[in-house]
Amino acid sequence: MKTGSRCFASGSTGGKAAKDEGGSLSDGSQSDRRGAPNRGGFPTQRETPESLHDLGMLRRPKPADSESDLLREQERFLASGGQSAVNVVRRPDKRRGEKTGDDSEEPQETQRDVVTIAGLPDELPTLTPAPPKKSRFKKERVRFENEDPEKLLDRHDTHISAVLSRIVERDTSAIPVSFPAFTSTAFPKVLHRSTAEKQAAVPGGRKSIFARQIAAQNPKLGHGDSKNDPKVSSPQAFGSSHVVSGSVDGSILVSGQGLCPDSAVETLRIHQENQARLQGMPESEILEEQQKLLAQLDPRLVDFVRSRKAQKTSSVPSTLEGETYSDQPVTESKVPEPHSTDPKLDSQEVTMDADEEDEAEPVIQPPMTEKELPVKPQKEWLHMDKLEPEKLEWTRDLPAPRRRSTKKSMQARFDFSGAVIPPTEDLPTHLGLHHHGEEPELAGYSLQELFLLSRSQLTQQRSLALNTLAHILSKAHAGEYSSSLKGNVLTSLLDGGLLFLLRFALDDSVEGVMSAAVHALRALLVSPDDEECLDNMFPWLLGMATFPLLPSIQDEEDEDDEGLDESMKETAKDKEDRKSDHDVARLDVVKGLLKMQLLQRLRYILEVVRPTPHVVVDVLEILIRIARHSTSAATQILDCPRLMETVMSEFLPCSLTPPMSQTPLSLYGLPISTAVKLLRVLASAGRHACARILNSLGGRERLSWLLAADPSELLLEPGEAVRCSTEALRLWAVAASYGQACDLYTDLYSVLVKALQAAHKPSAPSEPLLVLELHRVKALLVLLTQVTHTAGCHQELQCGLLNSQGTKSLPPPPVTWSHVTGLQATLIGLLKGCVRALDDPGQRTSALALLPSYLFYMGAFYSQLSMQNSFQPVQCLLELESLSSEVLLPLVSHQAIRSTVESLRSYSVICNPLLSAPGLEVIPSLPALGCFRLKTNPSLVGPGSPLPLYTALFYLLDILTTIHRGLTKKFSSVVLSDSVLAYLQSCVGAMPSVSQASAWLLRHEHLLLYLLLRLAHRLVPVDSNVAKHASLFHHVALALLSWLLPGSEYLAHELLSTIIFSHELLPEGGSGGPEAATLAELKLQEKSTPPSGLGPLLHDSLAHLPSIRGCYLTLLAHLEPPVLSSRDRHLGRNPWLSSQLLPELSGPSLPSDWPFLPLISLYERTGLSEGGGLQANSLPSGSLQSVTHCLRWLLLLESWREEALKPVPPVAKLARLACVFLCSSDLFLERPVQELTWALFRGLTRPTSLQALNLGTPPPGLASFHDLYSALLAQYEAVSFGDALFGCFVLLPLQRRYSAAMRLAVFGEHVGILRSLGVSLEQLPIPLENFTSPPEDSLPLLRLYFRALVTGTLRRSWCPVLYVVAVAHLSAFMFSQDEASQEVEATRRSLLRKTYHLTDEVLRSHLLLYFLPEQHSQLGFSTYEQLPPIRTRRLHSVVGTEEGSDGDRNVDGTLARKRRQ
């Protein structure tokens, strides 16, 4: 191996060599006795410190050396004057603009070891050829071989012409041309390295040779940071328009570059002229001219000029030819400062900019000097010798806030409580709301800044940001930002990634940050107002049943599964697992959190971290919100390992240790009402989940322990103890609604009776626990109601078990009817006492709150009593009469109840659309009930709501009148109340919107309407006064049927079975009804009526009402499973109930066009092929009867209940009726179908209905009406047989105001139907003017009109309606005098010329002499006696004068012959 030029031997020789070279041991190597190298040149075993010192060498530091030894060695090295072994070289950072090593002095050559190997090149060869660099811009350029380069250059290089077009050059003809001086040197002059050494050292730091050379040639580019540079001595220098630069005055804006060779002289001359002119002007004139300029110039240009002046004046001037700035006089100008402190100028500036933005101009401050620093830098401080003003701007005082609000939308800023801070509000800095962001003068934090702060490395900042976000989320849920901010705050936060931010923060190792994340997540998911409303609705009729809080939006269906077999299609779970967390959370926030393992993290927080009480409550409330999402989410909570076990063992212990204080520091080991509520919500998800809670998790023991003791004996805070007892009763009531945990009833019977007896103890209204005690009593009554329902099913289940004969059947519950019969007397006594309490103003509020629960229980008891074997009818009827006379009648006539019902309409969600409309803060992926809106509006769940009381009253009356029909008439005053009738009248025309924010209230109001209609239906036959309003009741019933939501299918079935098709509720069908209809239709029908009038059709429809009802009930047989499930819930068949969660909210149970369902069903069963023909050769059996019954019912509704079909748009009605022709080849030819369809078609073509018919809107269920019309045309060509009714359906869309595409389809693709479309003008129920006005403007369609007429395809004898239409449009088009394009004018002349030369004289005369359409004339239109002068001139201009005269005579002769004929 060949070594370099420096080699060292072992021993002291090497040390000597190193010493001689550098004075220190560097890069030397020695060997020990074994020949191994000793790196670093430190002493070996043969050398001692003394010998090294004698040789002038330094010894190696040892671990035992003290600090004094090291300092002594350092002084010895410095005294020797040797060179250091290592030089620290800092590499420059070019990204920061630091100077490179070229600017420094030439580095000294350093000796180093160089090792070379023979045969190896100095540089490594390239192993593989490097790929050529590709330009992504070059790919976009397209070059052709024959392309002219000059044209290419002109096309791309357009900036010169653009610039020159905006520049006005000065006249330089009088300026002498000066040539540059000739020199013998090269141009430009070459810079030599040797000249750089002669230049003076630059005090500003190291610079390159080239930079130093340029600095020497251009003295103007001085160094502003030199110590000798002058500073601005007075603030006036910044405001004056006269700036001194060296010793020469000059303009700030005008540089003179490009004017002439001596541009500096010219610029100076212009500047001096301006200064002299300003000196001679008074200050008032200067101000006036300044305002004129400011008014004319663009505000942005003014800002640019001021900023440029500020930059010029703030830059420190350099020395010029050895003269300093202080030697030059500063001349003050009379021009006022742009940012003067004069209030008049400031106000003028604000007024000037008020049109664009109502805010003051920003004041540009000079850069900070060293004197203004809050802390003076010291010489010993590292890197503090250079002043950087831009980095010290944050130490200044904050600028003044805006004096007035701006018209532009600004970024919202919030304080730590989540309140929005107006941009004009000036808050003190000690509040901590000011920070060094983009707008330091504005207090508060924006959402972006909070997001950034939440990822800070400081724990306090992360906690502060998360807590602030929690407050913002809480206020956004409460709707406090709807009036002050644009857009949806919650949507903006979720789109910005809030969900992932909170999920990351939950994994923080700091407990404070983790607690803040839990609080923010609770604020995002949980709405306290919603939970309060749901708790208040729990004791209502069917109040424990709720809709799952599932998002209404669904992901788009994947098209990959189309065409695959069912077994090969991907399941919904597989699709969801394949999606990313972001995609799942975008559609469903709760699903996204579950996918991100939120439950496991919450279990860790509860089990391991054991946080503070408020964090524990937040976690439990988050779990409650997740459980309300769906049955699947509740199941995942129960399946999460050790989650529910931790909740049960830590927050629902079987034994209680008394807390040391009223506010314990930890909730572990204490029962929490929120934990019991979590169990109740989980149990509502299904009977299997409830069984797991009661049996596997030990819920039964917890219930016994919590309910056996009085709330005062639970050793908890009084309010929390009552809440725990209330939630335990609610949990038991949910379990009893499935027929479970009823064995506890016999064990705790004495406790329940004791609680009932203490329900009406006297208490002051101001008692703090009164509201909580009332909730507990109502929960107890709900429990007893559910136990009564379960006991009433025992006998049926027992009989089923005996008759099962070994087959699987439900076991009977452990509670029997005899167990609950003893409660009746006690509860009747309590009910009477509650009614008497209405007279006491102090107890009236409590009595009104408890009355619904008592009435619900009595209704449940008597509904189950009538189905028992021990039922005694006579005794029961006597009891009901006693209950009516002693309780119900006094209750109905009480003034408190009457005043309550008067507010029914104002509290109604149906009658007030604003209450049912979704709020502004609705998040599609996170649905909520929106109960915050009910705080400012009358609420159906508030304390003064009449909904629970009247629902309970009508429920009990429905049960009583079902058992005892004789009691019905006694309660007619309830139905005939003015408030009730006004409420029903308001419901007729209402169209409430269905959403998660309204469905939970609409369901209960629907139940109230159903019970009210049941009572009214029973009263109509027995009370003439009630019968007067039968039509109103029927209107409400029809509207209610289309409003009913999922879970109310049983109510829809009952309405169809009893009320909808009832003769009693159709008083128009009585004496004089149909006959009067026939007389009213005589003038309207005229010749277009079918053989039979409307009256006989209505008579026939009324006679077939039972058959019509059977038709619709049979058609809705596919709804039997949901009907049975809904029946079990409404009738209290608890052992058969599967879940208290209602079906998913996807809209009403029945569509709004449910009367058309038989037609739609038949069309879907038969269907059409792609070519338009029928797929089925024959109709299914009973189809004719089904269609006939459907048309009869539609005729009744259109005639007497038109309001019921108002939600169905006219285009949907037309599309549904068209199914009569599309579902069969001869169904429309049947006489009853023909007559009924004619009657319905006339209703669609009434002037008001025809005006509302918009065929441009796609009918529900169809992509467009044009597709349906194409199928209708194909069907007409195939099977119409020239039927007039079918023809009218074809002609209806051909009116002029509809799309020309349908007329083009007739005259283009289906021109053959013109041969058979023989609808006469008398049979057409549509005015002919609708087809002929306004004139046609489609040139292709006009050409098709002309071709059909000329070729004989369209004849008056074959298709009279379209013949008139074609003649009218062609005549109006040919003789039109309107200005038009060249193509239109050429077409007019061409058609007129062809018309003149027609051989068919009749058609020729019709086209030339057409005047106006007349539907009742023989031709269908009127004609001129002869060509009018204006048409004659038009004809002469097209075909010539002579030919035009002959044409006139020929046309007149033809017309005369036609008259003679």
> What is residue 145's DSSP assignment?
T
134 has a pLDDT exceeding 80: no
Tell me which residue of 1034, 954, 936 sits closest to 987, measured CA to CA: 1034
**762 cis-preceded (ω within 30 degrees of 0):** no
The arithmetic mean of pLDDT across residues 252-263, rounded, is 59
Q: Identify the three-state secondary structure at position 1259.
A: coil
pLDDT of residue 767: 67
Report the predicted TM-score, pTM, of the whole model to 2 decimal places.
0.74
The arithmetic mean of pLDDT across residues 1303-1331, rounded, is 93
340 has a pLDDT exceeding 50: no
pLDDT of residue 211: 61
Q: Are 1434 and 1350 in contact (CB under 8 A)?
A: no
pLDDT of residue 42: 38
Residue that wins the pLDDT comparison between 1084 and 659? 659
The arithmetic mean of pLDDT across residues 75-81, rounded, is 80
Report the range of poorest mean pLDDT among 388-392, 509-513, 801-805, 1250-1254: 388-392
Q: What is the DSSP string of 125-144?
A: PPSSPPPPP--TTTTT----
> What is residue 1174's DSSP assignment?
B
- pLDDT tens for residues 683-729? 999 999 999 999 999 999 999 999 998 888 888 888 999 999 999 99
- pLDDT tens for residues 1277-1303? 999 888 999 999 999 999 999 999 999
Dihedral-angle region of residue 919 (phi above 0 means left; psi in -120 to 50 means alpha; beta otherwise) = beta
Q: Are 1085 and 1145 in contact (CB under 8 A)?
A: no
Give 574's contacts (C-beta < 8 A, 6+ positions apart): none
Question: If you search the block for the tokens 């020929």, which residue do you land on?
Answer: 1450
Please list the helix, strand and coil fractions of the chain in percent, rounded to the nearest 5, in that order: 55, 0, 40
Count other C-beta atoms under 10 Å from residue 615's C-beta.
22
Count other C-beta atoms under 10 Å from residue 853's C-beta.
26
Amino acid letter at 25? L
- pLDDT tens for residues 188-208? 555 555 554 444 444 445 556
How far the first Cα of the chain sits from its last, in Å, is 131
Q: Characterize 553-570 residue by residue with b for buried, 16 or more Cβ atoms within 10 angstroms of its Cβ, and e for exposed.
A: eeeeeeeeeeeeeeeeee
- pLDDT tens for residues 1216-1272? 999 999 988 889 999 999 999 999 999 999 999 999 999 999 998 888 999 999 999
pLDDT of residue 362: 52
Q: What is the DSSP string of 1360-1384?
A: HHHHHHHHHHHHHHHT--S---HHH
Residue that wins the pLDDT comparison between 1236 and 565? 1236
Phi, psi of 286, rounded to the nearest 5 degrees: -65, -45
- pLDDT tens for residues 886-925? 999 999 999 999 988 888 888 888 988 777 666 666 788 9
pLDDT of residue 1219: 93
Mean pLDDT of the chain: 79
Amino acid letter at 180? P
Q: What is the DSSP string of 413-458?
A: -B-TTSPBPPTT----GGGS---SSS-TTS-SB-HHHHHHHHT-SS
Q: Are 676 and 727 in contact (CB under 8 A)?
A: yes
pLDDT of residue 79: 81
- pLDDT tens for residues 95-116? 555 555 444 444 444 444 444 5
Instruction: Give ∠ CA 77-83-86 in degrees, rounded to 5.
Output: 100
The arithmetic mean of pLDDT across residues 620-644, rounded, is 96
Q: Characterize 48-64 residue by residue with b for buried, 16 or more Cβ atoms within 10 angstroms of its Cβ, and e for exposed.
A: eeeebeeeebbbeeeee
Phi, psi of 1312, rounded to the nearest 5 degrees: -65, -20
Report the range of poorest mean pLDDT among 72-81, 149-158, 891-900, 1299-1308: 149-158
Amino acid letter at 1118? H
The arithmetic mean of pLDDT across residues 1181-1192, rounded, is 93
Q: What confidence category does residue 654 fall into, taking pLDDT thresholds of 50, 70 and 90?
A: confident
- pLDDT tens for residues 409-468? 678 899 999 999 888 888 887 788 887 777 777 888 899 999 999 999 999 999 999 999
Sign of the CA dihedral running 576, 578, 581, 587: negative
pLDDT of residue 1174: 44
pLDDT of residue 400: 67
The arithmetic mean of pLDDT across residues 165-186, rounded, is 61
Q: What confidence category does residue 575 fall into, taking pLDDT thresholds of 50, 70 and 90?
A: confident
Report the range of poorest mean pLDDT among 333-342, 783-792, 849-858, 1304-1313: 333-342
CA 302 vs CA 274, 295, 298, 359: distances in Å: 19, 10, 6, 16
Query: Over pLDDT 90: what percentage of the chain?
Result: 50
The arithmetic mean of pLDDT across residues 1195-1201, rounded, is 94
Residue that wins the pLDDT comparison between 1445 and 762? 762
Q: What confidence category does residue 168 fall into, taking pLDDT thresholds of 50, 70 and 90?
A: low
Residue that wins the pLDDT comparison between 1416 and 263? 1416
> What is residue 1423's DSSP assignment?
E
Residue that wins the pLDDT comparison between 664 and 547? 547
- pLDDT tens for residues 234-257? 333 333 333 333 334 556 666 665
pLDDT of residue 1076: 46
- pLDDT tens for residues 18-70? 333 343 333 433 334 334 334 333 334 444 444 444 445 667 778 778 888 88
pLDDT of residue 918: 65
Highest mean pLDDT of the ranges 118-127, 297-306, 1280-1289: 1280-1289
Query: Over pLDDT 70: what percentage of the chain?
Result: 72
Count other C-beta atoms under 10 Å from residue 544's C-beta.
20
pLDDT of residue 171: 64
pLDDT of residue 1380: 87
pLDDT of residue 1453: 53
- pLDDT tens for residues 660-685? 666 678 899 999 999 999 999 999 99
pLDDT of residue 442: 83
> What is residue 334's DSSP assignment?
S
Rounded Cα–Cα distance for residues 418 and 471 (Å)? 5
523 has a pLDDT exceeding 80: yes
pLDDT of residue 1344: 95
Q: What is the DSSP string of 786-802?
A: HHHHHHHTHHHHHHHHH
Report the range of poorest mean pLDDT among 88-92, 1112-1116, 1179-1183, 1202-1206: 88-92
Q: Are 857 and 777 in contact (CB under 8 A)?
A: no
Give 922's contacts (C-beta < 8 A, 6+ positions apart): 488, 928, 930, 995, 997
Helices vs strands, H then E, count in the chain: 67, 6
992 has a pLDDT exceeding 50: yes
* Helical segments of 1120-1209, H only: 1120-1130, 1157-1166, 1183-1200
Rounded Cα–Cα distance for residues 1176 and 1157 (Å)? 19
Tell me which residue of 214, 190, 194, 189 sits closest to 202, measured CA to CA: 214
Rounded Cα–Cα distance for residues 1363 and 1318 (Å)? 11
The arithmetic mean of pLDDT across residues 494-514, rounded, is 94
pLDDT of residue 309: 63
Rounded Cα–Cα distance for residues 595 and 585 (Å)? 9
Torsion of CA 644, 647, 650, 652, to 10 degrees: -110
The arithmetic mean of pLDDT across residues 326-330, rounded, is 36
pLDDT of residue 23: 39
* Helical segments of 1143-1264, H only: 1157-1166, 1183-1200, 1210-1222, 1231-1244, 1247-1252
pLDDT of residue 439: 77
The arithmetic mean of pLDDT across residues 869-885, rounded, is 93
Give 1136's contacts (C-beta < 8 A, 6+ positions apart): 793, 810, 1128
- pLDDT tens for residues 997-1037? 889 899 999 999 999 999 999 999 999 999 999 999 999 99
pLDDT of residue 856: 97
Query: How crowded is the C-beta side of 8, counted as CA atoms within 13 Å?
Result: 26
pLDDT of residue 1054: 96
pLDDT of residue 4: 40
Tell me which residue of 1398, 1441, 1443, 1445 sits closest to 1426, measured CA to CA: 1445
Question: If you search the block for the tokens 């908890």, which residue do you land on?
Answer: 716
pLDDT of residue 3: 40
Rounded Cα–Cα distance for residues 449 and 414 (Å)? 10
**132 cis-preceded (ω within 30 degrees of 0):** no
Rounded Cα–Cα distance for residues 842 and 1437 (Å)? 99
